[in-house]
Amino acid sequence: MNMELALQTFFDESRELLTDMERILLQLESFPGDAELRNALFRCVHTVKGSAGIFGFQHVVSFTHVVENVLDRLRTEEIHLSQLLADLLLRCRDHISLLVDIADPEDAVRLASASQRLLTELGPFHSVTPPQTPQAVVADSHQQHQWRLSVQIAADALRFGMDPLGFIGYLSRLGQLQVTTSSQAVPCLAELEPESCYLSFELALTTDASEALIKEAFELGNDLYQVQLECVQSAQLAKLSAGPPNDSSPELLARTIDKDAGQAHRRKPPAQHFRVQADKLDRLINLVGELVIASASVSLNAGHSGDAVSRESAANLNLLVEDIRNSSLELRMVAIGETFQRFQRVVRDLSAEIGKDIQLDITGAETELDKTVVEKIGDPLMHLVRNACDHGIELPAVRQQKGKLAQGLVQLNAYHESGAIVIEVNDDGNGLNRQKILAKAKEKHLLTGDGHLSDSEVFNLIFEPGFSTVEQVTNLSGRGVGMDVVKRNIEALRGSVELISPGTLGGTTFRIRLPLTLAIIDGFLARVGDATYVVPLDLVVECTELPKALCNADVVSTSHYINLRDEVLPIILLREHFMQPGTSGRRQNIIVVRHGAHKVGLVVDELLGEQQTVIKPLSGIFSHVKGLSGSTILGSGQVSLILDVPALLQQVSQREDSLDRSNNRHVRAPLAAC
């Protein structure tokens, strides 16, 4: 057994279990009566403890054991989940996760005092029973039993990572334990295999623990241990030490733990998931990317050859490659719910900390997006959620004055929209104060001039570095770092963020738009002069010819909009925007793209049709270039640039105010002398 691998699995599993534990705890707060949840909670901790035991992480086991006891009592409804206990258990969960992460028992010393503190707090919940049943305690402590265990261990046990010391340690914590080791089976040195286990044990245990609790010691290795368990009265204790067990004893509860039953109990439903290393998946997707390029080249060549048969095969190949691409990208798709779930805890803790009552509503948790995107969206979302709680939602008293419910509402919502995922963070708080932001912006010299600004322009000021309208800096937010980072992080994912106030719930709404994947997209190819550009196909609404009357460059450059079926359509002349040399051809086309609520026409020379494109990042040299999000390789081997439509639109609309058109536009500034 590869320990390294097993250990990794332990870490992964524990992390998952602890995440589950948090989720269940939070659910349980809302549905305290749900027995299934209580059992699940117990199982989480129990499994973590068990696996930690296998690896001999005593520091984890000893702490988890107490938590487990408490949860066991919760499960059997001896105690109830109060707010206090829930808080405590959540903190215990965090502590367990810390303990698991350090793994090295020697480092655990650092956490010992924290462990001790939590254990002391847990004390009332496990050692003393709640006041309403004081008699039970007394009765319990009197019901000490003598247990006799005889344990036979399979020779293979050590090879499977079962250390007999594990269960001995466990049992010794339950009560008084006497161990007699039988070494009769140990062969002579020449025949001894150091990896085999030859020992068997006779144990005498005095404890108030139940039979089930004792059996748990052997649950993890239940096919390796043969356990006989019997209950003996104190009087018989003398007999026990004297000779072999008396099988005819009436108190005999001896039962070999039923192997089959045990296994059936532990057998999980048929595996629906299996773990794959992320880098293997990444490699597969890279390869699929290359495959896409290769197949594009095949269809290109087939098209040139004019041979109908090879054209057909190429078309078939293309279809298959598209399927492969989609299914392999799906492998990396995960539901956003897991990320959202984290915020339940954040909001809960936060609201307690700042004295507000806030509920977090999650919708669209099943919306899927690429794992790489999910990993990077957590931090920006965290900022927004904290902001919503701290700045957005008012204090309960203030809310009641305004005639709102005392309980504030923060909503996380996700849905798909034209090839992108939209994540909304809504709150029903007080929204943004336009005047306050404007004043602050002037104070910080972010604004020059008194030009009239639209609401959205004003609100977007809060994404400027160092901007905060809160007079008091709290330890949560308000330092003015953050929103610019949020924006930068989202833009780095080829996404965008906008702010709407008043939002859907009356307060503020942040709307984040992200691409579903960062690897491969469907692209629409267009030619401008010598260059070929790719527009993400999801954004393309339609293509149409630029009306002949407008093809004359002068006409278009005076008015940058056209009439599209009685709708005003602003247009961007790509050739002009990118300052490409040469003049446009006689016939030009418009690609109508949509980004959010905006619709814009991109004027290009020629439409080349759609193609799957593999996104290749552009080198660092181009990191400051706006309007391009990356590059891709065409079937011909040529590199083509992918248009970053949102950035392009932003650039153009920012410029709109100062559209003083002079015709002395130089092509490429003479900067080379620098």
Partner 1 sequence: MKQSKRNDVVVMQTEQANEQQYLTFQLGQEMFAVGILHIREIIEYGNLTTVPLMPDFVSGVINLRGSVVPVIDLSIRFSRGQSQLSRRTCIVILEVDSAVSCAADSGSEVSALQEVGIIVDAVSEVLEIAPKDIEPAPTFGTRLRAEFIAGMGKVDGAFVILLNVQKALNVEEMAKLASVVEPLEQSHYG
Tally Cβ neighbours within 10 Å of residue 490: 23
Residue 670 interacts with partner 1 (CB under 8 A): yes or no: yes
- Alpha carbon separation from 50 to 91, 219, 458 (Å, rounded): 20, 9, 56
CB 497 within 8 A of CB 508: no
Restricted to residues 273-312, the positions that interact with partner 1 (CB under 8 A) are 290, 293
Residue 115 interacts with partner 1 (CB under 8 A): yes or no: no
Which stretches of 332-433 are DSSP H helices?
A: 337-354, 371-387, 396-401
Residue 623 interacts with partner 1 (CB under 8 A): yes or no: yes
CA-closest candidate to residue 613, choices 372, 290, 311, 373 = 290
Residue 659 interacts with partner 1 (CB under 8 A): yes or no: yes
Cα(583)–Cα(529) distance, integer angstroms: 8
> In the structure encoding, which two tokens stand for residue 372, read together?
């790489």
Give me the residues paired with residue 362 across strands: 412
Binding residue for partner 1, selected from 117, 436, 442, 655, defined by CB under 8 A: 655
CA-closest candidate to residue 418, choices 340, 513, 484, 322 = 513
- Applying CB under 8 A, which part among 2-10, 124-132, 258-266, 529-537 lies near partner 1? 529-537
Binding mask 491-510 for partner 1 (x = CB under 8 A): xxx-----------------
> In the structure encoding, which two tokens stand for residue 422, read together?
């939209």
Kindly calculate the radius of gyration of the chain based on its CA atoms and give it in whole angstroms. 34
Residue 620 interacts with partner 1 (CB under 8 A): yes or no: yes
For residues 28 and 572, which CB has a smaller minimum distance to partner 1 in the complex? 572
Binding residue for partner 1, selected from 580, 584, 588, 611, defined by CB under 8 A: 580
For residues 245 and 465, which CB has a smaller minimum distance to partner 1 in the complex? 465
For residues 228 and 613, which CB has a smaller minimum distance to partner 1 in the complex? 613
At position 622, the amino acid (one-letter code) is F
Residue 549 interacts with partner 1 (CB under 8 A): yes or no: no
139: CB partners within 8 A, 6+ apart: none
Residues in the chain: 674
CA-closest candidate to residue 568, choices 609, 545, 598, 538 = 598
Tally Cβ neighbours within 10 Å of residue 128: 10
Least Å distance between CB 663 and partner 1?
9
- Applying CB under 8 A, which part among 191-199, 318-326, 349-357, 610-618 lies near partner 1? 610-618
- Applying CB under 8 A, which part among 227-235, 408-416, 434-442, 659-667 lies near partner 1? 659-667
Residue 479 interacts with partner 1 (CB under 8 A): yes or no: no
E strand or H helix that includes residue 532: strand 531-536
Strands 145-153 and 200-207: antiparallel
Phi, psi torsion values for 59, nearest 5 degrees? -65, -35
At position 353, the amino acid (one-letter code) is E
Residue 188 interacts with partner 1 (CB under 8 A): yes or no: no
For residue 658, the 8-state DSSP code is G
Sequence-ordered strand ranges (E) for 10-98: none
Residue 467 interacts with partner 1 (CB under 8 A): yes or no: no
- Applying CB under 8 A, which part among 115-123, 225-233, 419-427, 573-581 lies near partner 1? 573-581
Binding mask 143-172 for partner 1 (x = CB under 8 A): ------------------------------
Binding residue for partner 1, selected from 431, 523, 627, 646, defined by CB under 8 A: 627
Residue 443 interacts with partner 1 (CB under 8 A): yes or no: no
- Applying CB under 8 A, which part among 5-13, 21-29, 344-352, 577-585 lies near partner 1? 577-585
CA-closest candidate to residue 360, choices 426, 308, 295, 272 = 426
Restricted to residues 24-83, the positions that interact with partner 1 (CB under 8 A) are none
Least Å distance between CB 492 and partner 1?
4
CB 486 within 8 A of CB 380: yes
For residues 530 and 566, which CB has a smaller minimum distance to partner 1 in the complex? 530
Residue 231 interacts with partner 1 (CB under 8 A): yes or no: no
Binding residue for partner 1, selected from 578, 589, 613, 629, defined by CB under 8 A: 578
For residues 565 and 666, which CB has a smaller minimum distance to partner 1 in the complex? 666
Residue 448 interacts with partner 1 (CB under 8 A): yes or no: no
Binding mask 371-400 for partner 1 (x = CB under 8 A): -----x------------------------
Residue 114 interacts with partner 1 (CB under 8 A): yes or no: no
For residues 442 and 488, which CB has a smaller minimum distance to partner 1 in the complex? 488
Residue 674 interacts with partner 1 (CB under 8 A): yes or no: yes
Half-sphere exposure in the Cβ direction for 106 (13 Å, CA): 0
- Applying CB under 8 A, which part among 56-64, 161-169, 221-229, 637-645 lies near partner 1? 637-645
CB 639 within 8 A of CB 631: yes
Residue owning tokens 């914590």: 173
For residues 20 and 576, which CB has a smaller minimum distance to partner 1 in the complex? 576
Residue 559 interacts with partner 1 (CB under 8 A): yes or no: no
Count of residues of this chain found to bind partner 1 when the rule CB under 8 A is applied: 51
Cα(296)–Cα(284) distance, integer angstroms: 18
Residue 640 interacts with partner 1 (CB under 8 A): yes or no: yes
Cα(32)–Cα(29) distance, integer angstroms: 6
- Applying CB under 8 A, which part among 94-102, 250-258, 498-506, 633-641 lies near partner 1? 633-641
DSSP output for 177-202: EEEEEE-TT---GGG--TTS---EEE
Cα(630)–Cα(494) distance, integer angstroms: 10
Binding residue for partner 1, selected from 553, 570, 616, 635, defined by CB under 8 A: 616
CB 539 within 8 A of CB 593: yes
Contact positions vs partner 1 (CB under 8 A): 290, 293, 376, 485, 488-489, 491-493, 530-532, 578-580, 616-628, 631, 633, 637-641, 655, 658-662, 664-666, 668-674
